Amino acid sequence: MSDSEDLITRLEAQEQRLVFPRFEHADAWHLGSLLVDLATARDLPVAVDIRRGPQQLFHAALPGSTADNDHWIARKVRVVERFAASSYLVGRRLAAKGDALDAKYGVDPADYATHGGAFPVRVEGAGVIGVVTVSGLPQADDHALVVEAIESFLSE
């Protein structure tokens, strides 16, 4: 198995494993606060965003982040909403096949970004109902921070 295939397998396993029993406003606040705490403790210049459907339930911009991070968040969120998979997984699948999102799906890259950092909020029995996103780090690190926070949240 190639490194690319191994990464895709690990990302798919994360998505199958990280499923919420429910996801309400208070859960978004708790998860968002957890992400902010992790990022603050590490002095990470990120923006954090959590949405359920079209409603933004949580947003924080930490020192060092910029308005550009909010633009990246919106582009990553659109990928999760369209493909019901993390922006990192979608990007890695495309890269493994030598495809580009705009050419394969006819979307504008100004509106969609298959860079890591947006992860689906998947609820048991309901499917993908929202998105948790971090922007400001290299894509693998954005993704890893979101996964770490979700793992911690779900283990509480």
Q: What is the pLDDT of residues 25-54, one digit of tens each?
A: 999 999 999 999 999 999 999 999 999 999
In three-state form (DSSP H/G/I as H, E/B as E, the rest C), the secondary structure along 53-105 is: CCEEEEEEECCCCCHHHHHHHHHHHHHHHHHCCCHHHHHHHHHHHCCCHHHHH
Question: Is the Cβ–Cβ distance between 115 and 12 less than 8 Å?
Answer: no
| Predicted confidence (pLDDT) at residue 79 exceeds the cutoff of 70 | yes
Q: What is the pLDDT of residues 95-133, one digit of tens each?
A: 999 999 888 899 999 999 999 999 999 999 999 999 999
Domains of the chain: 3-155 (3.30.450.150)
Query: Model pTM?
Result: 0.95
Q: Which of 73, 72, 68, 66 shows the shortest CA–CA distance to 50?
A: 73
How many other C-beta atoms can be found within 10 angstroms of the C-beta atom of residue 42? 10
Q: What is the pLDDT of residue 2?
A: 79
Q: pLDDT band for position 1 (50/70/90)?
A: low
Q: What is the pLDDT of residue 152?
A: 97
The rounded distance, in Å, linking the Cα atoms of 113 and 102 is: 10
